[in-house]
Amino acid sequence: MQLFNFSQPLHFMRFKWPALLLSVLLVIGSIGSFATKGINWGLDFTGGTVIEVGLNQSADLTAMRDTLSAAGYPDAVIQLFGSSKDVLIRIPLRPDLVQEKVGEAVLQALNAKQSTPVELRRVEFVGPSVGEELKQDGGMAMLVALIGILLYVALRFEWRLSVGAVVSLGHDVILTLGLFSILQLEFDLTVLAAILALIGYSINDTIVVFDRLRESFRKLREATVDETIDHAITSTLNRTVITSLTTVLVLLVLFFMGGALINGFATALLFGIAVGTYSSVYVASAIAEVLGISREDMLPAPPAENEVEQV
C-alpha cells in the first residue's frame, strides 16, 4: 500500500509565489491579532490564583459568581473545566489581596453556600515576578532554539537553506501563536512546551526535505533548481505525510482523551503540525530558492555520500 506514487515530480515550485504570499498574509494577520487582541496569557504567565473545584452535581456558575462577588472577589473569572461538575475559578493579582490566602478563602466562601462541600482539586498561586520571568525564559528558549538550528543547518547544509528553515519555523510559531490569539485560547506553560516541541518537530520535517534536496542536486545534473526542488519534495512526500499522520493520530487521542489540562498542548501541536507540514514543503524550500540556491552551493559532496555511490 502506498499513499502517492508519482511517475513525474509534482510542480510545487510553480506555486511558490502564491504560497509565499499566503504565508505572508497569514503572518501579518497573526501579528495583527497580537497587536489588537493580544494573547490570553494563562496563570503561569500573569500571576494570580487558580482554583479548580469538583462538585457532585452540575455547577450553577451564576450562583457561584454571586457568592464570590459577595465574598470580595468581583473580578473572579468562573468557568467550567472539562465537565459540568468541574469548575475553574481565576482570581487575578490584586495589590490589596494576600494572594497566599485566596485559595482557602474562596473555598470557604463556596462551601458556606453549598449543601455538600466542594472537592478541592487544585489550587495554584503564582506571584507576579514568576510569570514575567517565565515569559522571558520562554522567549529566550525559543530564540536560543532558533539560533541553534540556524547554526546547525548552516554548518551541515548551506546558509540559504538555514535561513529558509528558520523562517519557516518562525512562520509556524507565529501562526500557532496567532491561532491562540484569534481564538483567545489560554496560553499556559504546556502550550509553551508544545510550541517548543513544534519547533523540534517541524525542523525534523524540513531537514528531511533538505537532505533529499542535497541528494537531488547531485543526482539530477541537467535539471533546473525548481525542478530539483520539486523532485526532492515529491520523493519525500510519502514520508512527510505518513509521519505527520501518525503524529496527528496520537495528538487526536491526546486532544480528545488527555483531559482539560493537556488540551492546550494538543491544540497547539495539532495546528502547528498542519502548518509545519505545509511550511516545510513550501516556505523553507521556496525561500532558499528565492535566495538563489544553486547546484554549485551543494557541492562538493561530503565523503559519506561517495561511499554510497560505490555500492
Partner 1 sequence: MLNKNPAWRYVVVITMLLLTLVYALPNLYPEDPALNISARGGAVISEQTRLQLEQEFIRAGNAAASVQLQDGKIIARFSSAEQQLQAFDQAKNLLGRNYIAALSLMPATPAWLSAIGATPMKLGLDLRGGVHFLLAVDMQAALDKHLNDLVSQFRNDLRQADIRYQSVKANLEQGQIAIVFRQAADVEQAASLLSKQDSQLLMNQDMDSLSLLVSLSEERQRDIRNYALEQNITIMRNRVNEIGVAEPVVQRQGADRIVVQLPGVQDTAQAKEILSATATLEFRLVDTDSDLTAAIAGRLPGNAELYQSNDGRPVLLEKRVLLTGDHITDAISGYDEYSQPKVTIKLDTAGGNLMSDASKSAVGRRMATVFIEYKPGTEQRADGTPVLVKQQEVINDATIQSRLGRDFDITGLSSPAQAQHLASLLRAGALIAPIQVIEERTIGPSLGKENIELGLAAIQWGMLAVLIFMLVYYKAFGLVANIALAANVIFMVGIMSMIPGATLTLPGMAGIVLTVGMAVDANVLIFERIREELAEGRSVQQAIHLGYDRAFATIADSNMTTLLVALILFGVGTGPVKGFAITLAIGIITSIFTAVVGSRLLVNLIWGGRRLQSLPL
Answer for which of 9, 48, 138, 164 binds partner 1 (CB under 8 A) is: 138
CB of 80 to partner 1, least distance (A): 15
C-alpha cell of residue 224: 533546473
Bridge pairing between strands 77-81 and 119-126: unpaired
Query: Alpha-carbon distance 144 to 35, whole Å?
Result: 24
Q: Any residues with CB less than 8 A from the CB of 310 and at least 6 apart, and which? A: none
CB of 20 to partner 1, least distance (A): 23
CB of 87 to partner 1, least distance (A): 13
> If binding is defined by CB under 8 A, does position 287 make contact with partner 1?
no
> If binding is defined by CB under 8 A, does position 120 make contact with partner 1?
yes
Answer for which of 89, 192, 270, 281 binds partner 1 (CB under 8 A) is: 192
Site string for partner 1, 42-81 (x = CB under 8 A): ----------x-x---------------------------
Answer for which of 247, 277, 279, 285 binds partner 1 (CB under 8 A) is: 247
Which helix (DSSP H) or strand (DSSP E) does residue 3 occupy?
none
Residues 280-291 as b/e (b if ≥16 CB within 10 A, e otherwise) read bbbbbbbbbbee
> If binding is defined by CB under 8 A, does position 90 make contact with partner 1?
no
Query: Alpha-carbon distance 79 to 86, whole Å?
Result: 9
Residues 26-42 as b/e (b if ≥16 CB within 10 A, e otherwise) read ebeebeebeeeeebebb
Q: How many residues bind partner 1 (CB under 8 A)?
A: 75
Site string for partner 1, 201-240 (x = CB under 8 A): x-xxx-xx--xx--x-------------------xx-xx-
